[in-house]
């Protein structure tokens, strides 16, 4: 433990202390008589710059600073699921019981309940050889999560000297003794890990399996891979928060970690109130049984905000190491970057673009680089992934500002939220011309297993939307009357594609989630209508006759048909398309075959 130092300057949450002999960067310290916790963010000789995680009112020069000798770390073990933590892993529900609705300084309850007993089933035997990442036992954490008790990565080679039999234990009870080169080491249900240090793994794997979201525009046009990275930039009112909540509920991840990074208190309260009422779409169990929330509101100290995404990604890595697919959603990294800017300003560092520190891009890269699909440590063959999705809140919707620009250079999926679409109540308000996914090529083979012409359908749909936009510009310059039936047909089918396919309600009990098979069938039917409409126009049928077909109403209702009933609906609409267009062709040729 470091020797005690003395505060000689206080500037809000920024403290300077002297006499900090033996201190290290990012070491946790307690300051003043109130025991306010903070983190060393700069060292010059025996002088330390400290960023407090709590309010510093009342702390004055001359008071003591005591180092803990440890960096900011998270507690990892059973009991994480369903918890709501602040940015430094203080459980907010426990804090409320201790101090009421407002967090008090110096109160730091354990992140994991140390009194609760868990049913431990040993998976290793005495005398077994083990390495870091091996499973020594299993705990059923929730109805949805089987929690593997992992040997910490720091243990390279060891032998089990003692392990308890099946029993009820707390997170601090000794489970096993491991003989290593350094001597005996005792293992428990929990261990700690520094948040700024990535957990190791064996190897990185290709990102060639999609993270299906149930959102048609994403899964069909701009897919995200498991272990991938994505960003959702958009101005106020474009639906970022609702989109992240929808992804949290419907994405096919095993574990969800939702980070409210500097969010407004009312928005975070809304999330905390709604999520516990949602159900997991696969099991019908409460969604919180596989969810962790990191709630760091805008009125909390900025140092905790800066730490919140590291806390979240460390928790994600822990469950990844068990072989789970984890989806981490941060809302928003813009406010996290603002915390960096404020801390940098107090350190009097040379500012970069718009006042952000020059190292902003590298910090963003450090965060997103911890995503990935990997072979985990240990003698067992396990594959886990972390998919990182970060919302960005560019001021005025300016996508060229530093946080958005820096994020776009790192992430491989860009879902650009458009205020114009949101204003027209078109949700998800993802602009299909500005957005992109760099995973489309690596996922092509997987998508072809759903439909052999999947990639061709996607290209046809995007081409149709682009052609409609070009015709719209021509019509605005020269007048719509210059367009013939073929051009107006493009307008009509593009409108169908937008309203029947891309538009999706997050509130409708059926339309809020669209399985990939149904997505494929819907897109195929709309483009089949377009293909037959073009053929009909060439044979002399008028556009008015085509638009009067009853099958158009069936296409409009596709999105509200239950997935389990959609195979029948798909067959019915396919027959109707063939029959009704054949009838039009006969009428146009006077009853003779076309």
CATH label of the domain that carries residue 470: 1.10.1140.10
In 10 A of CB 426, how many CB atoms? 17
Is residue 104 included in any domain, yes or no? no
Which of 71, 105, 129 marks a domain boundary? 71
Cross-strand partners of 256: 291, 327
**CB neighbours of 490 closer than 8 A, spacing ≥ 6?**
464, 467, 468, 471
The pLDDT assigned to 1 comes to: 46
In this prediction, the residues of the chain whose per-residue pLDDT falls under 50 are 1, 594
Q: Give the integer Cα–Cα distance in Å for 585 and 594.
A: 6
- State the pLDDT at residue 2: 53
In this structure, are 261 and 185 located in the same domain? no
Cα 289 from chain centre = 17
The reported pLDDT for the residue numbered 434 is: 93
Q: Which CATH number belongs to the domain containing residue 181 in this structure?
A: 2.40.50.100
Q: Are residues 327 and 244 in the same domain?
A: yes
Residues 6 or more apart in contact with residue 350 via CB below 8 angstroms: 358
Nearest Cα neighbor of 262 from 316, 229, 304 is 304
Are residues 251 and 311 both part of a single domain?
A: yes
Q: What CA–CA distance (Å, rounded) separates 31 from 17? A: 10
Give a yes or no: residue 494 inside a domain: yes
Domain membership flag for residue 90: no
Indicate whether 210 and 179 sit together in one domain: no
- State both tokens at 386: 């972390």
* 512 belongs to a structural domain: yes
Percent of the chain with pLDDT over 90: 65
**185 plus 208 within the same structural domain:** no
Q: What DSSP designation does 251 have? A: S
Print burial letters for 16-42: b (CB count within 10 Å at least 16), e (below 16): bbebbeebeeebbbbbbebebbbbbbb
In whole angstroms, give the CA distance from residue 452 to residue 343. Answer: 53
CA gyration radius, the chain: 28
User: What tens digit of pLDDT does each residue of 281-336 get?
Assistant: 888 899 999 999 998 877 777 788 888 999 999 999 999 999 999 999 998 888 89
Per the domain annotation, does 108 fall within a domain?
no
Domain count, the chain: 4
Identify the pLDDT of residue 3: 64
**268 and 159 share one domain:** no
Whether residue 92 lies inside any domain: the answer is no
Distance CA 413, CA 213 (A): 14
* Percent helix / strand / coil, the chain, rounded to 5: 35, 25, 40
pTM assigned to the model:
0.92
Same domain as 419, residue 351: yes
Q: What is the pLDDT of residue 591?
A: 55
Q: Is residue 40 part of a domain?
A: yes
198: Cα within 13 Å, side-chain hemisphere? 15
Residues 432, 499, single domain; the answer is no
Which range marks the domain in which residue 34 is found? 5-71
Gap between the Cα atoms of 115 and 171, Å rounded: 8
- 100's tokens: 């009421």
């Amino acid at each position: 433990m470091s020797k005690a130092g003395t505060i000689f300057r206080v500037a809000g949450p920024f403290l300077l202390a002297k006499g900090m002999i033996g201190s290290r960067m990012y070491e946790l310290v307690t300051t003043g008589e109130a025991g306010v916790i903070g983190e060393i963010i700069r060292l010059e000789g025996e002088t330390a710059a400290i960023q407090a995680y709590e309010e510093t009112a009342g702390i004055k020069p001359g008071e003591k600073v005591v180092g803990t000798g440890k960096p900011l770390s998270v507690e990892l073990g059973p009991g994480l699921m369903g918890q709501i933590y602040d940015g430094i892993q203080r459980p907010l529900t426990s804090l409320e019981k201790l101090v009421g609705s407002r967090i008090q300084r110096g109160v730091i309850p354990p992140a994991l309940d140390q009194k609760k007993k868990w049913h431990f089933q040993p998976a290793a035997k005495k005398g077994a050889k083990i390495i870091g990442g091996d499973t020594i036992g299993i705990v059923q954490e929730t109805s949805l999560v089987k929690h593997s008790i992992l040997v910490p990565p720091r243990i390279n080679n060891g032998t089990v000297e003692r392990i308890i039999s099946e029993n009820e234990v707390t997170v601090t009870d000794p489970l096993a003794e491991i003989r290593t080169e350094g001597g005996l080491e005792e293992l428990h249900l929990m261990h700690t890990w520094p948040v700024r240090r990535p957990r190791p793994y064996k190897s990185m794997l290709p990102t060639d399996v999609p993270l299906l979201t149930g959102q048609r525009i994403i899964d069909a046009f701009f897919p995200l891979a498991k272990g991938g990275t994505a960003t959702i930039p958009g101005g106020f009112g474009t639906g970022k928060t609702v989109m992240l909540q929808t992804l949290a509920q419907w994405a096919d991840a095993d574990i969800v970690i939702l980070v409210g990074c500097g969010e407004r208190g009312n928005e975070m309260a809304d999330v905390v109130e709604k999520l516990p009422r949602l159900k997991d779409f696969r099991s019908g169990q409460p969604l919180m049984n596989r969810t962790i929330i990191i709630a760091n509101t805008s009125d909390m100290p900025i140092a905790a905000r800066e730490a919140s995404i590291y806390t979240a990604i460390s928790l994600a890595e822990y469950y990844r190491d068990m072989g789970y697919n984890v989806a981490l959603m941060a809302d928003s990294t813009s406010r996290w970057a603002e915390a960096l800017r404020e801390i940098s300003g107090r350190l009097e560092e040379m500012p970069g673009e718009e006042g952000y520190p020059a190292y902003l891009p590298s910090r963003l890269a450090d965060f997103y680089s911890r995503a990935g699909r990997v072979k985990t440590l240990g003698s067992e063959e396990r594959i886990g992934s972390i998919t990182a999705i970060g919302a960005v809140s560019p001021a005025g919707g300016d996508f060229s500002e530093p946080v958005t620009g820096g994020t776009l250079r790192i992430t491989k999926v860009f879902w650009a939220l458009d205020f114009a679409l949101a204003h027209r109540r078109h949700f998800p308000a993802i602009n299909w011309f500005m957005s992109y996914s760099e995973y489309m090529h690596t996922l092509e083979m997987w998508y072809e297993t759903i439909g052999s012409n999947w990639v061709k359908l996607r290209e046809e749909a995007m081409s149709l939307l682009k052609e409609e936009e070009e015709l719209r510009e021509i019509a605005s310059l020269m007048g719509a009357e210059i367009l013939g039936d073929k051009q107006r047909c493009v307008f009509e089918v593009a409108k169908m594609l937008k309203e029947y396919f891309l538009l999706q309600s997050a509130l409708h009990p059926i339309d809020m989630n669209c399985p990939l098979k149904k997505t494929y069938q819907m897109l195929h039917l709309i483009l089949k209508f377009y293909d037959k409409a073009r053929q009909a126009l060439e044979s002399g049928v008028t556009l008015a006759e085509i638009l009067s077909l009853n099958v158009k109403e069936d296409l409009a209702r596709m999105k509200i048909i239950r997935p389990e009933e959609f195979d029948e609906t798909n067959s019915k609409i396919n027959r109707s398309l063939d029959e009704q267009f054949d009838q039009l062709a006969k009428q146009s040729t006077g009853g003779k075959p076309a």
